[in-house]
Copies of this chain bind each other. A is one copy, B any other.
Amino acid sequence: MKHHPAPVSRVTVLSGGVGGARFTRGLLAYLESAGHRTDVTVIVNTGDDMWLHGVRVCPDLDTMMYTLGEGVEESQGWGRAGETATVATELRRYQLGWDWFTLGDRDLATHLARTELLRAGWPLSRVTARLCERCDIAPTILPMTDHEVETMVVMAGDGPADLRTVHFEEWWVRLRAAVPAERFVQTGVAHSVAAPGVLESIQSADVVLLPPSNPVVSIGTILGIPGIASALAATAAPVVGISPIIGGSAVRGMADACLQAIGVETSAEAVAHHYRAAFGILDGWLVDSIDHEAAGRVTARGLLTKAVPLWMSDLTTTQAMAQESLLLAEELRH
């Protein structure tokens, strides 16, 4: 058994959906089991958000809420457990919208509640806090921005780019990322502002963690919001990442299709270098035991890297990963 890191006051996590949510759940379980009273703030990607049938759907925020709150469908990692599809079945008969995107009935209640508050003029961050109240979620969950910054995919091909451009969710869910992406575009990002609390939580953190979320369209999207990457570069807190790539393939999802689009190799080593080269961040890096040789090479290039088991197969192994990330941060602080 590893020793416990000394308690810290504040941990900030940058997260996408399933992988980040599971990691955060493990982190919270670890902190509780170790008796640490640590404030955790999670900054969540909202680039996958969309207006669908007139309601605002926030896939990553929902996955985070359901995973930390109550009733995520464990078998898939997203959506509500025991979900039904009465509304979606009926909607298909109108032949409108995205019938390939799953809108479960219970999930839909979240979207409707959110939409009601957004239409009443509340910013997404305030709406999110209100929705989290119901689930007794202890950490602070923040959207990366209150602005509508959506990730669009320009697919490879000939002809005008706008004819080859689809919403990320369409590329990811409907096309299964099978059509190569030429590039990703964040609509409206130039004029977007980090949501209230986001930059502060990075500045005041004792540790910042990057869970094994998609480095391009989840964490990369968050880092695209003006001010966030520079806050991470400037904070006194060590920034520790956990590789989403194990032995040359993505742990989950199709991260390789995203990495390919930005010219980054699908390897734990390449992702670490990408965070450093593109955003000037990352102080520590966890790779899977299978990538221990890469760990040596990355450390040799000046980024403290450890090889530890990175499969989040259950809560116990995920807690152990969270412990390792905090131990690495502790080592970096000294």
Using a CB–CB cutoff of 8 Å, the interface residues on chain A facing chain B are 51-56, 84, 86-91, 93-97, 105-106, 108-110, 112-113, 115-119, 131, 134
- Inter-chain contact B97/A109, CB cutoff 8 Å: no
- Inter-chain contact B93/A105, CB cutoff 8 Å: no
A96 neighbours in B (Cβ, 8 Å): 113, 116-117
Number of copies: 2
- Inter-chain contact A112/B131, CB cutoff 8 Å: no
A110 neighbours in B (Cβ, 8 Å): 90, 94
- Inter-chain contact A87/B113, CB cutoff 8 Å: no
A119 neighbours in B (Cβ, 8 Å): 51, 54
Task: Report the nearest B residue to A104, measured CB to CB.
Answer: B86
Among candidates B51, B87, B89, B134, residue contacting A87 with C-beta atoms closer than 8 Å: B87
Residue pairs across A and B with Cβ atoms less than 8 A apart, 22 shown, are A53-B113, A53-B115, A54-B118, A54-B119, A87-B87, A87-B105, A87-B108, A87-B112, A88-B109, A89-B109, A90-B106, A90-B108, A90-B109, A90-B110, A91-B109, A91-B113, A94-B109, A94-B110, A94-B131, A96-B113, A97-B112, A105-B105
A134 neighbours in B (Cβ, 8 Å): 93-95
A97 CA / B116 CA spacing, docked (Å): 8
A113 neighbours in B (Cβ, 8 Å): 53, 91, 94, 96-97
Task: Report the nearest B residue to A86, measured CB to CB.
Answer: B105
Task: Report the nearest B residue to A119, measured CB to CB.
Answer: B54
Closest CB pairs A-B (n = 8): A54-B115, A90-B109, A53-B112, A86-B105, A94-B113, A91-B109, A53-B116, A54-B119
A95 CA / B89 CA spacing, docked (Å): 26
A157 CA / B94 CA spacing, docked (Å): 45
Assuming the A-B contacts A54-B119, A55-B55, A86-B86, are A91 and B112 also in contact, with contact meaning beta carbons closer than 8 angstroms in the complex?
yes
A174 CA / B52 CA spacing, docked (Å): 30
- Inter-chain contact B94/A106, CB cutoff 8 Å: no
**Closest Cβ–Cβ distance, residue A135 to chain B (whole Å):** 9
**Closest Cβ–Cβ distance, residue A122 to chain B (whole Å):** 11
A109 neighbours in B (Cβ, 8 Å): 87-91, 93-94
- Inter-chain contact B86/A116, CB cutoff 8 Å: no
